[in-house]
């Protein structure tokens, strides 16, 4: 079979050595595409460039791969991150040599700390062109340091089965590592010689005999041997303790399975369940009758907190965002168990903590097979939850348009069931924690809380929405502007994304810092970073519909019916200086009621 035709390109006479290099490069590109597609990779995000030509051609001509070219490498990295978050499957990033590869780093950092599988392929100059000013060449050896789970260099390509087996097995290992326990990003650096394809027609090598054994790797799920499970059940001493369960951000795996497992754990421990909005539990409220969502308000009151203090704490995943809760747990300094499958140290409080490298479902099974249950003591928590929730609902319903905190509250009430939501870092994730009301809409909330940055906000949300079902991004103005190049991906976008833009003219979260009151003039310039961008013009530039509701009723009507395709901006202009005070007063008032 003829794979490459010279008639497509002007004839340039090549030596036989050059023809061999070109044939080998194209064969590597085909092999890479075949291995990745057979190992469960369905998507490639490609940053255009010359050195990566053989792989780009191989991916583009593979029907099993969806290949998306993205101009800006930083945005490309986050687009791939969002795709992988939504699907749970590894996504490939491909770029040329030089600073293109360096621009992937922020997304790789987030993927590493969030356990998201990415396979990063960076083309490079061969050894003879390094350290000699050959152009577009940097040291790409272990470029991403310990931010990747695994690294390899493979190349240059040569003709023959031995070389094809080399690239095949390196990619097999890369995918296997990316979906392991923990999952995360991996990196392969590929030094490639020119020419990147042959000049003459040639027969392609037969790859199938080298691919017959390739199949997707099994997911690794941490588990305990029976003896270890028995020991753990005795160590927990269920029947002699008043337990408190604290659920932090969780965005991987089967949401319904996770919610059911958490409910089983809370029931077995007879424990109140304090759940961050990012834990994915508030949108399955009826599954978790012990759910407490107003813990920030309750703990702010500092009234009779002794009645709320447990004997032991079980944490599921990372700590919630709430500083009030973190400080209270730190003061209690109780025996604490942290359940998290990544194996990372989750003890930011530096307390008396035991780490259990298990999934939530795995830990629920350990409890189910054990004996006894915790002391049922959570009535005080549930009573205060009811009182604080009622007070917050009443107060929020009376807030003027457009108080920032009410945006999250309104979205939790009006968004259609099952809609994915991406919450930007900074104030959006905090307003979700404060004001997202329990419901049974079965929505899934996505976020970048590994490194907690605002990098790549729009691109990650587009990646989440890429599959086609309507999705929502809740973001502030600075987070959106920080990744404005994400709009460049829209011509390839086939999904639906509604961007709820809370525009307070700067960094609203910084209004909570002490420096905002101590040095107000310096604060505004050097911390708040005020901006005066006309977002309607930005929307027009990229062909995006923009709406500016003038009332809460209009906002909820707009958000209750989402478009089936395309992107739109729903902009709410707010006052960050007024809202920081109103938010504090609301939370305190709800806590005083409880």
Q: What is the pLDDT of residues 80-93, one digit of tens each?
A: 999 999 999 999 99
pLDDT more than 70, % of the chain: 95
**Rounded to two decimals, what is the model's pTM?**
0.94
On whether the CB atoms of residues 376 and 241 are closer than 8 A, the answer is no
CA dihedral 418, 246, 237, 335 (to 10 degrees): 160
- In this prediction, residue 4 carries a pLDDT of 47
From CA 144, how far away is CA 149, in angstroms rounded?
Answer: 10
Q: What is the CATH number of domain 2-211?
A: 3.40.50.970
Is the pLDDT at 457 greater than 80? The verdict is yes
Closest to 411 in 3D by CA, of 402, 351, 592: 402
291-300, 370-379, 577-586: least confident range: 370-379
On whether the CB atoms of residues 2 and 201 are closer than 8 A, the answer is yes
- Torsion sign over Cα 490, 495, 498, 501: negative
- In this prediction, residue 231 carries a pLDDT of 79
**Per-residue pLDDT averaged across 398-402, rounded?**
95
pLDDT more than 90, % of the chain: 74
Residue 231's SS3 state is helix
pLDDT single digits (tens) 284-337: 999 999 999 999 999 998 788 999 999 999 999 999 999 999 999 999 989 999
- Torsion sign over Cα 93, 99, 104, 108: positive
Domain 226-379 has CATH 3.30.950.10: no
3-state DSSP of 55-92 = HHHHHHCCCCCEEEECCCHHHHHHHHHHHHHHHCCCEE
Is the pLDDT at 5 greater than 80? The verdict is no
On whether the CB atoms of residues 502 and 476 are closer than 8 A, the answer is yes
pLDDT single digits (tens) 182-221: 999 999 999 999 898 888 777 677 777 777 676 666 666 6
195-204, 432-441, 460-469: least confident range: 195-204
- In this prediction, residue 9 carries a pLDDT of 47
Instruction: Show contacts of 555-558: CB within 8 Å, 24+ apart.
Output: 555/401, 555/402, 555/407, 555/410, 556/410, 556/413, 556/414
Is the pLDDT at 397 greater than 90? The verdict is yes
pLDDT single digits (tens) 559-568: 999 999 999 9
Is the pLDDT at 130 greater than 50? The verdict is yes
Does 399-593 match 2-211 at the fold level? yes
Q: Mean pLDDT score of the chain, rounded to an integer? A: 92
Closest to 364 in 3D by CA, of 450, 253, 217: 253
- In this prediction, residue 438 carries a pLDDT of 97
**Per-residue pLDDT averaged across 391-413, rounded?**
97
- In this prediction, residue 214 carries a pLDDT of 67
- In this prediction, residue 234 carries a pLDDT of 75
Is the pLDDT at 2 greater than 50? The verdict is no
Residue 32 binned pLDDT confidence (cut-offs 50, 70, 90):
very high
- In this prediction, residue 499 carries a pLDDT of 99
Is the pLDDT at 162 greater than 80? The verdict is yes
Residue 583 binned pLDDT confidence (cut-offs 50, 70, 90):
very high
14-18, 73-77, 140-144: least confident range: 14-18
Measured from the Cβ of residue 560, the count of other Cβ atoms closer than 10 Å reads 11
Task: Map out the domains of the chain as residue ranges.
Answer: 2-211, 226-379, 399-593
Is the pLDDT at 41 greater than 80? The verdict is yes
pLDDT single digits (tens) 471-516: 999 999 999 999 999 999 999 999 999 999 999 999 888 888 888 8
- In this prediction, residue 127 carries a pLDDT of 78
Closest to 293 in 3D by CA, of 162, 432, 484, 405: 432
Q: What is the CATH number of domain 399-593?
A: 3.40.50.970
From CA 313, how far away is CA 271, in angstroms rounded?
Answer: 9
């Amino acid at each position: 079979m003829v794979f490459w035709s010279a008639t497509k390109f002007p004839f340039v006479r090549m030596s036989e050595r050059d023809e061999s290099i070109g044939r080998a490069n194209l064969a590597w590109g085909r092999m890479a595409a075949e291995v990745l597609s057979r190992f469960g990779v369905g998507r490639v995000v490609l940053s255009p460039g010359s050195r990566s030509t053989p792989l780009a051609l191989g991916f583009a001509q593979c029907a099993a791969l969806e290949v998306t070219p993205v101009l800006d490498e930083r945005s490309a990295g986050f687009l791939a991150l969002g795709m992988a978050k939504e699907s749970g499957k590894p996504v490939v990033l491909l770029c040329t040599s030089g600073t293109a590869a360096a621009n992937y780093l922020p997304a790789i950092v987030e993927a590493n700390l969030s356990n998201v599988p990415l396979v990063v392929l960076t083309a490079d100059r061969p050894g003879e062109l390094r350290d000699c000013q050959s152009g577009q060449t940097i040291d790409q050896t272990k470029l991403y340091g310990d931010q990747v789970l695994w690294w390899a260099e493979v190349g240059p390509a040569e003709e023959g089965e031995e070389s094809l087996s080399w690239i095949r097995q390196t990619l097999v290992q890369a995918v296997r590592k990316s979906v392991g326990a923990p999952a995360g990003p991996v990196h392969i650096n590929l030094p490639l010689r020119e020419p990147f394809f042959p000049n003459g027609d040639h027969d392609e090598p037969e790859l199938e005999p080298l691919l017959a054994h390739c199949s997707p790797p099994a997911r690794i799920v941490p588990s305990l041997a029976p003896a270890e499970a028995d020991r753990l059940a005795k160590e927990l001493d269920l029947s002699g303790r008043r337990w408190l369960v604290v659920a932090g951000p969780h965005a991987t795996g089967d949401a319904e399975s996770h919610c059911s497992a958490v409910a089983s754990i809370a029931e077995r421990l007879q424990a109140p369940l304090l759940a961050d909005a990012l834990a994915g539990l508030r949108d399955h409220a009826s599954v978790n009758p012990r759910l407490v969502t107003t813990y920030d308000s309750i703990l702010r009151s500092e009234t009779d907190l002794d009645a709320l203090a447990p004997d032991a704490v079980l944490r599921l995943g990372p700590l919630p965002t709430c500083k009030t809760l973190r400080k209270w747990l730190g003061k209690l300094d109780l025996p604490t168990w942290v359940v998290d499958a990544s194996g990372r140290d989750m003890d930011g409080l530096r307390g008396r903590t035991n780490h259990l490298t298990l999934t939530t479902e795995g830990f629920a099974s350990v409890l189910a097979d054990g004996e006894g249950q915790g002391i049922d003591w959570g009535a005080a928590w549930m009573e205060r939850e009811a009182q604080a929730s009622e007070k917050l609902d009443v107060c929020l319903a009376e807030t003027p348009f457009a108080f920032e905190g009410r945006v999250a509250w309104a979205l939790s009430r009006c968004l259609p069931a099952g809609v994915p939501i991406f919450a930007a870092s900074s104030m959006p994730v905090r307003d979700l924690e404060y004001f997202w009301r329990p419901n049974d809409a079965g929505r899934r909330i996505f976020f970048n809380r590994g490194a907690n940055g605002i990098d790549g906000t729009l691109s990650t949300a587009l990646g989440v929405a890429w599959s086609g079902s309507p999705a929502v991004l809740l973001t502030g103005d600075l987070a959106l502007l920080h990744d404005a190049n994400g709009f460049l991906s829209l011509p390839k976008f086939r999904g639906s994304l509604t961007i709820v833009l809370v525009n307070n003219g700067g960094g609203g979260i910084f209004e909570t810092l002490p420096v905002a009151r101590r040095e107000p003039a310096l604060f505004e310039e050097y911390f708040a970073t005020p901006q005066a961008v006309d977002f309607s013009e930005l929307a027009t530039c990229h062909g995006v519909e923009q709406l500016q509701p003038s009332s809460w009723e209009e906002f909820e009507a707009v958000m209750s019916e989402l478009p089936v395709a395309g992107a739109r901006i729903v902009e709410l202009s707010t006052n960050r200086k007024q809202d920081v005070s109103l938010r504090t007063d609301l939370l305190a008032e709800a806590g005083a009621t409880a």
